[in-house]
Amino acid sequence: MSVEWLVGEFRTPRQMLGDQEYDGHLSIHDDQMAEDLGFAGAPIEGPTHFSQFVPLLHGVFGDDWFVRGCISSHYQNMVVEGEEVQAMVEKSPTHGVVRIAAQKRDGTPVLMGTASIGPDYGETELEQRMGRLTPADQLVILADLQVGQKGAGNPEQIRMDMDQRMGDMYPFSNKQKLQKITESHPYYGEDSPWGKPAVPLEMVSVLTQYTSGHSGFRSRGPAIGLFAGQQIKMINGPLLIGEDYLLDREIIALSESRRTESNWILSRVYRASDRELVAEAILNSATLKDSYANYDADAAALGKDLSA
């Protein structure tokens, strides 16, 4: 049966991570680093595309989207600055869930996934993918991590003010993001019905990730990573600018492919004032094996059979 889509306008997302640093080196979002790894250009971070879904999902689910909405995405192809992207949302929910997709002007898929609202949420894109994972027994870069491992900094104190620069991982502020965002919304400013501006959907990732260096989830490196999949779920949202939160992290899966090793980290966000669970985020972060210079040597030392 064919899918009827709500289709957004083509937008040109902007690159804001050219100066991003983690573990003391530039990331894949640096043009030269991306070129050295064989990519056409520095990719725009995946959650940047989430903003284009907000007006479509607000139309499907109403204000409930900001309070109890869940977006779950598998990233398929990178986008570089200058390329146009179009967001699509299934018109009619099935058991409360709609499919989502994004594509470039030439039809190249950018991402696929699901969106839904709670309290049920249905089976999300990332939950389906985690359900198909097989045990990862040849990990090298992630060999020192374990499923069930908790963040060393739990609970971390996090906050996003409008003018706050979000550190070396995210060298910009929410105010600067709103000047370049592909799709703005009145709730991101003074018209928010919650007394404070809502954190834009694509900036939820920034809020949950900018202190990730405190987690203690140390992989071997230096090596280059990228986002392979992401889920943001509001339990009693939205997250708000100028609000204090507490964050707990946990590794919920480890996986591998021919080119990458991946960790799946669940972040739970609690309002600091009453410890109520407000939101959850899952990040599937994939590290490129070829970007780690000591990969083969470490594999041999660990007794890993890379020919298997």
| DSSP conformation letters of 30-55 | SHHHHHHTT-SSPBPPGGGGGGGGHH
From first to last of its 308 residues, what are the pLDDT tens digits of the chain? 578 999 999 999 988 875 545 544 444 444 555 455 555 566 788 999 999 999 999 999 999 999 999 999 999 999 988 999 999 999 988 888 999 999 999 999 999 999 999 999 999 999 999 999 998 889 999 999 999 999 998 999 999 999 999 988 888 999 999 999 999 999 999 999 999 999 999 999 999 999 988 888 989 988 888 899 999 999 999 999 999 999 999 999 999 999 999 999 999 999 999 999 999 999 999 999 988 999 999 999 999 877 65
C-alpha span between 83 and 43 (Å, rounded): 10
Q: Give the C-alpha distances (Å, rounded to integers) separating 4 from 60, 86, 91, 100.
A: 13, 15, 6, 11
> What token pair was written down for 200?
């834009």
The model's pTM is 0.91
Which secondary-structure segment (H or E) carries 302? helix 295-302
